[in-house]
Structure 1
Amino acid sequence: MSSTKNPAARSHAGAAADKRRFLIRMVSVLIGGMILDGYVLGIIGPVAGTMAEDLQLTAFWEGLIAAAALVGILIGAPLGGVAADKWGRRPIFMFDIGLFAVASGMQFFIDSPVWLIVVRLLMGIAIGTEYAVGWPLMAEFSPTHLRGRLMAAMGIAWYGGFMIAFLTGHLLNEYTELSWHFILGTSTFLAVALFLARLGLPESPRWLWSEGRKDEARALAAKYMPDDALDDVQHEDVRKGSFGMLFSKEHWRSTLFISGFWFCAVTPYFAIATFADSVLQQYGLAGGLAGGVGLSAVALAGVIVTFLLIEKAGRRLLTVPPQWLCGVVLAIIGLWAGAPAPVVLILFLVFSFFNAGYNTLTNVYPGEVLPTEIRCIGTGFAAAVSRVGAGIGIFLLPMSMESLGAGPTMLIAAAVALAGAALSQWLAPETKGKTLTEAAAAFSH
């Protein structure tokens, strides 16, 4: 009996082990992409003062350089989404990290504000493309029971990358003689490592199936995906996606929700976190390492809590109530002009914790509520809309703090957060435990 059963059992165990190793590799390179994104957007803050002094920048130019990567994301996310749904996930996945490595490396040699904006714009295009293809890939390869956690892990990576960048930038800027060019260019080392790690990754079976390439899809699903995934893949329709489908009667609610939710979630965070030093100093609090890293560390804790709870509490509970809370907290900061500094700090920390928690769901929902044929297009569009908000926040916050003052600026941020809460109260679905096909079908009208 053992001689007949053992070979089959060993073969099945070996196949399962291969799938686990592949999933670990896929998750690692996707998480690496999010670390890189957070790093690029976080590294600019600690060197902003040195860079501004060296290049004799006004507040306008400083904000423009800080926002350049976000403008690039605005361009790259929808274009990358269209390309990934048209030509496949794999080639676009390699293109974006290659572009990023080249553009990041150029930062070592640039000392003109115009060229710095151009380079960081190119890096943003690469990051936007990564959003459009990376999160859909994670959704498409993840087992149903782990999908929420694995996609939430990308949020941990983003905040971790932002915090690592702030810490690294501060230490290198304060305690070494390295130039701000080199500090900005440190992202190149991670980009090159990720490019090498992505070589040889397969195409998404779900995309192949949506293109009618069923035999290839079955073969790759059998080799790389969980045993029950092939059945779900085969329940999907074979049809071409298009940008216009995002606004069709069937999908407009999905598009409105993921775009509006994402916009309102990131706008206040980017503005406050990127310029944490100046924001905290306006309230009589010490900035520097303690302020910036403190807010980022609390935000990271919020993402970790969401990661631990997402498959138990579900998506909606972690999305709607925290947004109302953050809107109220920002309103209190804006209205309470004479609040003691410790109270203001506590309120900022509460905002950072809960805002980061529901920001994690912006990684999860786009991959779940959209069908395969428009998953990348829709994710890219939502990412672009969100980065309009992030860019507005980063670009306008220094000028708003200077001209309007801290109180009115925080009230504007509160209004954005409360608008997101109202939208989510109306449209946020519960997708816990559903396959991708079921989740997308349930939110289509």
Structure 2
Amino acid sequence: MATTPVTEQNEPSTPPGAPATERERKRLHTKLKLATQIGQGIDGYIIGGIGLAMSAITDDLHLSSMEQGLVGASPLIGIFIGGPFFGRLADRFGRRPVFLMDMLIFLVGSVLQFFVVDGPQLILIRLVMGVAIGGEYAIGAPLLSEYAGRLGRGRLLASLEISWYVGYALATVVGALFTSVDGGWRWSLSSSAVIAVVCVALRGGIPESARWLLSRGRRDEAEALIQKYGIEVDVEAELDDRDEVRQDGFRALFSRQHLRSTVFASVFWAALVLPYFAIGTFWTEVFEALHMGDNAVAALLVYSFTAVAGVTAGCLVVDRIGRRKLLIPPFWITAACLALVAVWPSSTPVIVVGFLFFIFLNAASSALTAVYPLEVFPTSLRTTGVGFATAMSRVGAAIGTFLLPMGLDHFGAEFVLLIGAGVLVVGALVSQVLAPETTDLDLARAARTAREGA
């Protein structure tokens, strides 16, 4: 059975069943990569955009401290819902429809932010946007991974995290430009609609995943796609994996067969992002609590661009040094950095150096959040597993973001930073025990390695 070929407007189509031209193959891979990278960048954009806008939003909408926490945490709560929901849909009905649907939801939410009149409206809209972003995590990177080759897959997927930090930094720049504009926070938050429009346009015409087709027993369609676009897939390993995986759905994540992967992917991801999200969302408040002066905007820009440098470094070395070496040592070092800042809060050099090392290494390891979760689950369970791990990561981040302003008010910055250091230690311990080495393995073989604890 042959699939209908994907064609571009104003270009001659390839005859059914015939291999695509080199130009068509490159165009497909470029569109898929850009569509996925931009989608990943949007998450960073909505999280980063709130940091400089929060003070103006609080004044204009008369937010309480609890509402401030909910505005910051609502996208993360939405991701908790959207990740598992869209992930299950993508495993059951295919990658392609979910890839487009979640971005359309995000586009509508972006526009609606401009028109909010009170805190509850903004919280609700950003909650729905978070649901869409959860879907993006569950489908974007897994779809890209299923088109990627064995060698260099880590760097390709890690580049998605560069997009996240670039999106975060770009939102910070846009937010800084609108800080002096009356009602500028509305323009700043709703500007994500422009990015969403570009992303929706790119996603048209991207075909289904051949690996997903194999997982559903549709071998003829899968092999037609593999031949047409020159996709590197170990067909026999995928089919063996399909036979070996005894069940799918959420219950499968907690079976003896997959529990190790579920715990690892969820805990390491949550431990990485909780301190970063919480501190970044309330950077101005943390900065003031440490008595660092009135240059919070400039410091946040340094914070953001140091993270971009860190995740870029992680992307460059992920396939060279291996997954475990990029994850475990930075966990211990960043925990020590936050602890040092907490112990010596009166030392400006310690604060500056401690935060810079924390940001850089935390971001470098975060490159693995677009790599590891996709490699430790089989194709039939990949987006469900990634969606669940995404949800668990955002539960931790949402809790941290919600509690941080109250923690600052009642216990001070030193206590908050020590809690962050403790979270990183938990991540280090779990990764030391459960993290598999999956570098340069085919996706099906990587998932088997994770299940067997190799």
Instruction: Tell me the TM-score normalised to structure 1 length.
Output: 0.94
Q: Is the 8 A contact 2:330 2:365 kept in 1?
A: yes
Q: Offset of 1:14 from its aligned partner?
A: 6.8
Query: Where do residues 218-237 of structure 1 align in structure 2 (5 Å cutoff)?
Result: 218-227=223-232, 230=235, 233-237=238-242
Q: Offset of 1:209 from its aligned partner?
A: 1.0
Name the CA distance, whole Å, in 2 between partners of 1:133 and 1:420: 25
Query: Given the alignment of the two structures, is residue 179 of structure 1 paired with residue 193 of structure 2, yes or no?
Result: no
From 195, 203, 210, give the equivalent of 1:190: 195
Partner in structure 2 of residue 6 of structure 1: none
Partner in structure 2 of residue 439 of structure 1: 446
Query: Where do residues 345-364 of structure 1 align in structure 2 (5 Å cutoff)?
Result: 345-364=352-371
Query: Given the alignment of the two structures, is residue 215 of structure 1 paired with residue 227 of structure 2, yes or no?
Result: no
Partner in structure 1 of residue 162 of structure 2: 156
Partner in structure 1 of residue 277 of structure 2: 270
Q: Offset of 1:274 from its aligned partner?
A: 1.4
Q: Which runs of 5+ in 1 are unaligned?
A: 1-11
1:222 corresponds to which letter in structure 2? Q
Partner in structure 1 of residue 321 of structure 2: 313
1:405 corresponds to which letter in structure 2? G
Partner in structure 2 of residue 66 of structure 1: 72
Q: Offset of 1:227 from its aligned partner?
A: 4.7
From 59, 63, 74, give the equivalent of 1:57: 63
Partner in structure 2 of residue 301 of structure 1: 309
Partner in structure 1 of residue 268 of structure 2: 261
Name the CA distance, whole Å, in 1 between partners of 2:311 and 2:232: 30
Matched length: 432
Partner in structure 2 of residue 36 of structure 1: 42
SS of structure 1 residue aligned to 2:371: helix
SS of structure 1 residue aligned to 2:40: helix
Q: Deviations over 1:395-416 (max 9, x none)?
A: 1111101110111111111110
Q: Structure 1's 404 and 431: CA in aligned 2 closer, same or farther, altered over 3 A?
A: same
From 44, 49, 52, give the equivalent of 1:46: 52
SS of structure 2 residue aligned to 1:444: helix
Q: Is the 8 A contact 2:257 2:451 kept in 1?
A: yes
Instruction: Tell me the TM-score normalised to structure 2 length.
Output: 0.92
1:156 corresponds to which letter in structure 2? I
Name the CA distance, whole Å, in 2 between partners of 1:419 and 1:341: 28
Q: Structure 1's 227 and 351: CA in aligned 2 closer, same or farther, altered over 3 A?
A: closer
Q: Which runs of 5+ in 2 are unaligned?
A: 1-17
Q: Offset of 1:232 from its aligned partner?
A: 5.1
Name the CA distance, whole Å, in 2 between partners of 1:192 and 1:20: 22
Partner in structure 2 of residue 420 of structure 1: 427
Q: Is the 8 A contact 1:19 1:226 kept in 2?
A: no
Q: Which moved more, 1:273-282 or 1:430-439?
A: 273-282
From 253, 265, 280, give the equivalent of 1:246: 253
Partner in structure 1 of residue 108 of structure 2: 102
Q: Is the 8 A contact 2:19 2:229 kept in 1?
A: no
Q: Is the 8 A contact 1:221 1:229 kept in 2?
A: no
Name the CA distance, whole Å, in 2 between partners of 1:156 and 1:336: 31
1:146 corresponds to which letter in structure 2? G
Q: Structure 1's 178 and 385: CA in aligned 2 closer, same or farther, altered over 3 A?
A: same
Query: Where do residues 325-404 of structure 1 align in structure 2 (5 Å cutoff)?
Result: 325-338=333-346, 340-404=347-411
Q: Structure 1's 134 and 382: CA in aligned 2 closer, same or farther, altered over 3 A?
A: same
Q: Offset of 1:110 from its aligned partner?
A: 1.4
The sequence identity of aligned pairs, in percent, is 41
1:282 corresponds to which letter in structure 2? A
Q: Deviations over 1:156-210 (max 9, x none)?
A: 0001100110111111222x44532222110011111111111111111111111
1:212 corresponds to which letter in structure 2? G
Q: Is the 8 A contact 1:159 1:300 kept in 2?
A: yes
Q: Is the 8 A contact 1:141 1:225 kept in 2?
A: no
Q: Offset of 1:213 from its aligned partner?
A: 1.2
2:359 corresponds to which letter in structure 1? S
Q: Is the 8 A contact 1:222 1:230 kept in 2?
A: no
Partner in structure 2 of residue 7 of structure 1: none
Name the CA distance, whole Å, in 2 between partners of 1:225 and 1:236: 22
Q: Offset of 1:348 from its aligned partner?
A: 0.6
SS of structure 2 residue aligned to 1:433: coil
Q: Is the 8 A contact 1:90 1:201 kept in 2?
A: yes
Q: Is the 8 A contact 1:144 1:434 kept in 2?
A: yes
Q: Deviations over 1:222-272 (max 9, x none)?
A: 223435555654554256622111111111110000001011111111111
Partner in structure 2 of residue 145 of structure 1: 151
Q: Which moved more, 1:256-265 or 1:220-229?
A: 220-229
SS of structure 2 residue aligned to 1:306: helix
Name the CA distance, whole Å, in 2 between partners of 1:230 and 1:359: 30
1:195 corresponds to which letter in structure 2? V
Q: Deviations over 1:377-427 (max 9, x none)?
A: 000000000001110111111110111011111111111000100111111
SS of structure 1 residue aligned to 2:242: coil
2:208 corresponds to which letter in structure 1? E
Q: Is the 8 A contact 2:20 2:229 kept in 1?
A: no
SS of structure 2 residue aligned to 1:111: coil
SS of structure 1 residue aligned to 2:306: helix
Query: Where do residues 74-153 of structure 1 align in structure 2 (5 Å cutoff)?
Result: 74-153=80-159
From 317, 330, 336, give the equivalent of 1:322: 330
Partner in structure 1 of residue 15 of structure 2: none
Q: Deviations over 1:61-81 (max 9, x none)?
A: 111111111110011001111
